[in-house]
Structure 1
Amino acid sequence: MKDIVSQKIRQGRILNALSLQELADAIGVSKQMISKYEKGISIPSSKLLIQLAKALKVRVDYFFEPSRVELGEVNFRKRSSFPAKKINALKENIKLQLSNYLEVENILKINNSFINPLNKKKIDKLEDVEIIVRHLRNEWEIGFDPIHNIIQLLEDNEIKVIEIDEPQNDFDGLAAIVNDKYPVIVVNKNFSVERKRFTLLHELGHLLLDLPERDIKFEEQVCNRFASEFLFPKSLVLKEFGNGRKAISFKELIEVQRKYGISIRAIVYRLKECNILSDNKVAEFYRKINFNQSLKQNIDAQRFNTPEFSNRFEQLVYRAYSQELISTSKTASLLNIKVNEVLESKTM
Structure 2
Amino acid sequence: MKDIIAKRIKSARTLSGLSLRELSEKMHGVVSHNAITKYEQGLMMPDSKVLLALAHALSVKPDYFFRPYTVNIENIEFRKKSKLPKKEVSAIKEKVTDSIAKYIELEQFLNISSNFINPIKNIIIKDGDDVEKAVDSLLTHWKIGFNALPNVIELLEDKEIKVIELDADENFDGLSGWANDSVPVIVINTNFSIERKRFTALHELGHLLLSFQSDLDQKLIEKLCHRFAGAMLIPKETVFHELGESRKKISLSELIAIKETYGISIQATMARARDLKIIGNDRYIQFCISVNRNENLKKEIGFGQYVGKEKSSRFKQLLYRATAEEIISMSKAANLANQKLATFRDEFIEI
For these two proteins, the number of residue pairs brought into alignment is 346
TM-score, reference length from structure 1: 0.91
**Bigger mean CA offset, 275-284 vs 293-302:** 293-302
Alignment of 1:98-109 (within 5 A): 98-109=100-111
Alpha-carbon distance in 2 for matches of 1:277, 1:94 = 40
**Stretches of structure 2 lacking an aligned partner (at least 5 in a row):** none
Which residue identity does 1:306 align to in structure 2? G
SS at match of 1:127: helix
Tell me if the contact between 2:177 and 2:184 (Cα under 8 Å) persists in the aligned partners.
yes
Q: 1:272 Cα deviation (Å)?
A: 1.8
Query: What residue in structure 1 maps to residue 210 of structure 2?
Result: 209
Aligned counterparts, 1:187-226, within 5 A: 187-213=188-214, 214-226=216-228
1:83-122 equivalent positions in 2, closer than 5 A: 83-122=85-124
CA distance in 2, matches of 1:161, 1:347: 24
User: Hey, what's the Cα distance between the residues in 1 that align with 2:249 and 2:137?
Assistant: 32
Change over 3 Å in CA distance of 1:81–1:127 after alignment to 2: same
1:45-194 to 2 correspondence within 5 Å? Answer: 45-46=48-49, 49-72=51-74, 74-79=76-81, 81-169=83-171, 171-194=172-195
Instruction: Quote how far apart the aligned CAs of 1:338 are.
Output: 1.3
Q: Which ranges in structure 1 are unaligned for 5 or more consecutive residues?
A: none
Over residues 68-98 of structure 1, what are the superposed CA-to-partner deviations in whole Å (9 max), with x where a residue is unaligned?
1133453444435333222322222222111
The residue number in structure 2 matching 1:303 is 305
Return closer, same or farther for 1:87/1:300 CA change in 2, 3 Å cut-off.
farther
Who is 1:43 aligned against?
Answer: 46
Q: 1:125 to 1:80 in 2, by over 3 A?
A: closer
Compute the TM-score of the two structures, normalised by the length of structure 2.
0.90
| Structure 1 counterpart SS, 2:212 | coil
Which residue identity is paired with 1:10? K
2:75/2:178 contact within 8 Å kept: no
Q: CA deviation at 1:42?
A: 3.3
Separation (CA, whole Å) in 1 of partners of 2:251 and 2:190: 31
Compared with structure 1, are the counterparts of its residues 27 and 57 closer, same or farther at alpha carbon in structure 2 (3 Å cutoff)? Answer: same
- Indicate the percent of aligned positions where both proteins have the same amino acid: 45
Match of 1:284 in 2: 286
Distance 2:289 2:350 in 1: 58
Counterpart residue type for residue 332 of structure 1: A
State the alpha-carbon separation in 2 of the partners of residues 119 and 36 from structure 1.
45
> Which stretch shows the higher mean deviation, 141-150 or 33-42?
33-42
1:254-311 CA-to-partner distances (Å, cap 9, x unmatched) read 1110111111011111112223222222222112222333543446867122131111
Counterpart Cα distance in 2 of 1:76 and 1:343: 36
* 1:150–1:308 contact (8 Å) kept in structure 2: yes
**3-state SS, counterpart of residue 74 of structure 1:** strand
Change (3 A) 1:173 1:298: closer
Query: What is the root-mean-square deviation of aligned Cα atoms in Å?
Result: 2.3
Q: Which secondary structure does the structure 1 equivalent of 2:317 belong to?
A: helix
> Residue deviations 1:239-264, cap 9 Å, x none?
11223223222121111101111110
Distance 1:259 1:70, change over 3 A: same
Change (3 A) 1:284 1:299: farther
Check conservation: 2:167, 2:190, Cα contact below 8 A. yes
